[in-house]
Structure 1
């Protein structure tokens, strides 16, 4: 809402001077109650006429006090636009715009909708005046571009608005011109269909010939591929056979090497066992000899007749050589006791 109120005017009414009026903008959503010396601004813009037509505007048809600042749009038909070949057409547009500055709008215009309508109409008239009817038909897409509506965008910027988009909704010509245009369209459509039919026939023939050529090429390539595959299979079989023989021979050689290595290990193990047994037997024999020698030395020290001891170990010798070196005072009973002890130790 826009509120106006009385001001002091830099001195009020002194000396008969005019009083100034202050203006303030109240942005919603809010509850607004004017003060005693304020009044709300009433907007009177061009709008939809009473007959309900959305494509035309009527001055002062839209009166309100609450200003909407959200983006909005409007329909507008520019009637009786003349091309350079004197063809009258009606151009249908849709304008999208948004209010950016309320202060600028209040200061620069009383009816922005009327400004949009006039500026858009001027841009459309300027666009169509340099084209004939045929060129207009091919360039209607330019009416969807903001660059075509330079007066509209300039005027909108001056009054605090932004034109975000302009949509061309089509055009309408006079009844006679439209009938001629429809007939021309029908004739062009008939010729185009005839041309497309002939082109389709030619394409069908071309496709048939191309298919036969591709088929022959594919047949030749298939035969070459089959020959190549047979050659590769034969070569692969030969290589596999050679590889298999190599693998068999390698496995055989490896098996023989493993068997030979196992035999060597077995022989080495047997030799080591035999050597260990012999070393054990030699050690045992040596320990027996050392023990026997020790015992004999001990018996000699106690005066035992070693000859009798050795003879007793061989009860039936081939030859007997007796050397008596024993003392007369030792008895036979002691000798027999020592001889038994020696035999038990051995």
Structure 2
């Protein structure tokens, strides 16, 4: 039996693309009719959604050059992002009302999606349903498939206090890393990384040369870079890379949070060659086959207390625009979730 549905719901739309600093004024919370699902579609009542810095709307001269339309938003459109919700109606599908599903049409109270766009959530796989909205899969992929972290490695994680980095360092430790170094923007978050998330040392972006700090933290060099940032931090990592170091690039926030999301980072190709450094860009889109292995490891580590999932939970859809602005400013550690 289908669940009752109101006539209207609320959704967050992008009012204008940012030209410089992102503010809550770039968004608007509007009331709109609840969409009606057609055959083969699913109407979902969203319960929890994720807000991540990577969702910052980008202004690009050539949007097609990015090749990732899911990252791009146009003025007037509803924002998008990962969400958990309950199936309300699903005509012509095998999904029963009340089924908990994960999808990418957050930032709204109700969403209509084609059935293949929603993934039923097994309630017992992860001990906390909110963990299904973590960025742990990206963290796990970078550690396991991107860099192949192994016993004895010294690992440098950029953006270590973010939703990805806060889990990447922990996964690196689980896979045998001997020393884990992170980067972040504040002393408060640096202290939390070392005290609560198992980091051995932290590079502060606000404390001078990243390269000099990294050399002090890793006097014998690094074996692995898990990079969410790019820019100066990528160059610093290359400068202290040991022979046969492996670099996994999962994000480019230095560019994405600037005025030029496609800004290049100048690095020494000669250093790459002479030290046999491997650079690998890795995207979850290409590795969905790894999801069962990730969920098994993530769930086991959470239940055993070998890994923690740090997040902040806010209440109310109208909190989402401000939360995104705060994330861009670096004001949160871990993930940010909004309960609807």
TM category, shorter: under 0.3
- The structure with more helix, counted as a fraction of residues: 1
TM-score, normalization: structure 1? 0.19
Which structure has the highest strand share of the two?
2
Between the two structures, name the one with larger relative contact order (CA 8 Å, sep ≥ 6). Answer: 2
Larger Rg: 1
TM-score after normalising by structure 2: 0.20
